[in-house]
Structure formats: structure tokens, C-alpha cells
Amino acid sequence: MTRNKTLRNSNICPISSFKLHSYTEHILTKFLPSKLLNIHVFIWRNSEQTTRINNVTIIDSIVNQSRLKYKKMK
């Protein structure tokens, strides 16, 4: 059982790698599907030429889109 839990958790990079404020972290964990989160962690880690501010803007816009979709589904 522990092995399965570890494998499942290893699919998602820790939110702390985003270095975003806690509210955005909360939204990310609550509203974003893990696959989508993985993609954007990858963007975050592999965009060295882009400034950190731009990365935060990208993530924030994704978060906002996800929140809107979530509200529409409710």
C-alpha cells in the first residue's frame, strides 16, 4: 500500500516549486487536475530564459481559467 501511495504522489511535483503565494497554491491544489499541474510544473522548470514573473503570470492565468471552468460546472 505504501508503494502505491508513493508512486501516485510521485506524479505530481511539489507545489512549493512554484514559489507562489499561499492563496494561489491553495487554488492550484484545489482546482487543477494533476495532469495539467504536471505540464505547468514542467514549463516552470524548463523556462530558464523567461523571468520568474512571467512564469507566475502564466500559472495565474491557468488558475483563473480553471476556476471559471469549475464555477460553470457547479
Contact 65, 31 (CB under 8 A): no
Q: What is the pLDDT of residue 68?
A: 62
Q: What is the pLDDT of residue 11?
A: 44
Q: What percent of the chain has pLDDT over 70?
A: 0
Distance CA 50, CA 33 (A): 25
Model confidence pLDDT, tens digit, residues 39-71: 554 444 444 444 444 455 566 666 666 666 656
Averaged pLDDT, 5-34:
49
Give the residue among 38, 21, 11, 69 at the shortest CA–CA distance from 46: 38
Structure pTM?
0.23
